[in-house]
Amino acid sequence: MQKPERGIAMPLTLAVPGEEVIIKRIGGNAEVRAHLQNLGFVSGAVVMVVNSMGGNLIVNVKNARIAISKEMAQKIFI
């Protein structure tokens, strides 16, 4: 499981496909954060990028595969 250095956060778009990472925080406005939380993207959750196509991601989160846009993925920090 990837553990970025303490205090360093990077967007989910930079995660290596196939490697599990832990969400540190969710950015964006309240509506975006609520939408991502409803999908299972919460601080402390373990996620894995399955595939990246044109910046858009297919992600495993809470035993489900979810496709998210590059813009949304950039608001999820690991």
**Does the predicted TM-score (pTM) go above 0.75?**
yes
Around 63, how many Cα atoms within 13 Å sit in the side-chain half-sphere? 0
Long-range pairs of 54-61 with CB within 8 A, sequence gap ≥ 24: 55/13, 57/12, 57/13, 59/12
What is the arithmetic mean of pLDDT over 59-76?
96
What is the arithmetic mean of pLDDT over 51-69?
94
> How many Cβ atoms are within 10 Å of 64's Cβ, its own excluded?
9
* CATH number of the structural domain 12-77: 2.30.30.90
Q: What is the pLDDT of residues 11-56, one digit of tens each?
A: 999 999 999 999 999 999 999 999 999 999 999 999 999 999 988 9
Boundaries of every domain in the chain: 12-77
